[in-house]
Amino acid sequence: MNPTDSRRLPLEGLKVLELGQLIAGPFATKMLGEFGADVIKIEPPGTGDPLRKWRMVEEGTSLWWHVQTRNKRSVSLDLRSTEGQEIVRRLVKEADVLVENFRPGTLEGWGLGWDVLSELNPSLIMVRISGYGQSGPYRDKPGFGVIGEAMGGLRYLTGHARQPSVRVGVSIGDSLSALYAVIGTLLALQERLRSGRGQVIDVALYESVFAMMESLIPEYDASGKIREPSGSSLPGITPSNAYLCRDDDYVLIAGNGDSIFKRLMGVIGRQDLATDERFAHNDGRSRHAELIDGAIAEWTRKRSRQEILERLDEARVPAGYPYTAADIVNDPHYLAREMIQTITTPAGRSLKVPGVLPKLSATPGRLGQGGPDLGQHTEQVLDELGIDEETRQKLRQGGII
């Protein structure tokens, strides 16, 4: 969205209090902020959110920070102090949504549990993201995204058979949990329109991953077989694989639709396979996946990746290749859909960042600016709460803010 665009954002007027750190909670509030919510991020004085020092750091701040924390106001506040806890309670009275991703029981220990906060503000929606959820025998165990990915079933399937499992190259468990947190928030806001009351949204990292596992459980229940890792192929869906090209690059081909398969076989000169009744539908093709993959691989290894992609595009066969960051930022389709945007950080650096999703036709989200400096908005927020200068000075002297 253009910074000068005057269109109303869909979450404008919504006040969100973020008590989380690192990935899952802050990713959820990032999305809410992109669509107009006023997100107040609480960070510990002096150090701030640990994400400020994660991955590549320039001029003391993570480059990731300018994606994860855009459109937020930063307030430095010691949540372990009674004074800091009281300020949170005052903020809660005016908030619509509170998002936290501490270990279960942490907020209760600070006098900031649901029983206390919902009494202060019955319409409050409290989003709680944790490794294992707010109940169950594992609730008190620490859990990061990679553990959720493992317990949720994804890690076992990622990689090649009989080799150590590999992780997805990003924090997918945290990000999936953030998406569920946003969905839950929007559902709870809709319910609040009817009842006027808030509720708790309980998101567990492992469950967010588990929900993506498609037919894993019913297949096991029906057959007793455990789905195994399969490298670049997709078992039971044929053909869908990575194929080596003449120039040692790989091309990804998804020819698993019945009519698409026939067009693909026509391109590679295998009309005999296209017309073979055994391969008319996916179940038959999957029983002969090795034969079909072999025929495709024989064709691709004699051609360059560019030639293969051009031929398959002409035949309307889905194909592509694994994009690097360089491929992404230079791709005309990414650029045409405004998925690569440029911001100016507080330090004055020009920085490319991902665009905003989802795309709304009438009320699109805003890109905004990079992540705020630690405590950049503390005085502004305390002023909005009506906290006088004398009290603020005492809070500063005590290291509370």
CA distances from 308 to 106, 200, 251 (A): 55, 51, 8
Q: What is the mean pLDDT of each run of 10 residues along the chain (401 residues)?
A: 65 96 96 97 96 90 93 96 97 98 96 98 98 96 89 91 85 96 98 98 97 95 92 90 96 95 97 96 95 97 97 97 96 96 86 94 88 94 95 94 94
Give me the active site residues, please. Answer: 174
What confidence tens digit (pLDDT) does each residue in 237-270 have? Answer: 999 999 999 999 999 999 999 999 999 999 999 9
| Backbone φ, ψ for residue 265 (5° rounding) | -65, -35
CA distance 275 to 140: 58
CA distance 178 to 204: 10
What is the pTM for the complete model shown? 0.91
Q: How far apart are the first and last CA of the chain?
A: 34
Structure tokens at 349: 């650096």
Q: What is the pLDDT of residue 6?
A: 62
Q: DSSP E strands: which ranges in 264-399?
A: 319-320, 340-344, 350-354
Q: In what order do the strands lie in the sheet with 319-320?
A: 240-244, 250-254, 319-320
CA distance 320 to 249: 11
Q: What is the pLDDT of residue 2?
A: 46
What domains can you pick out in the chain, each with its CATH number?
A: 15-211+334-397 (3.40.50.10540), 240-244+250-320 (3.30.1540.10)
Q: What is the pLDDT of residue 328?
A: 96
Q: What is the pLDDT of residue 4?
A: 44
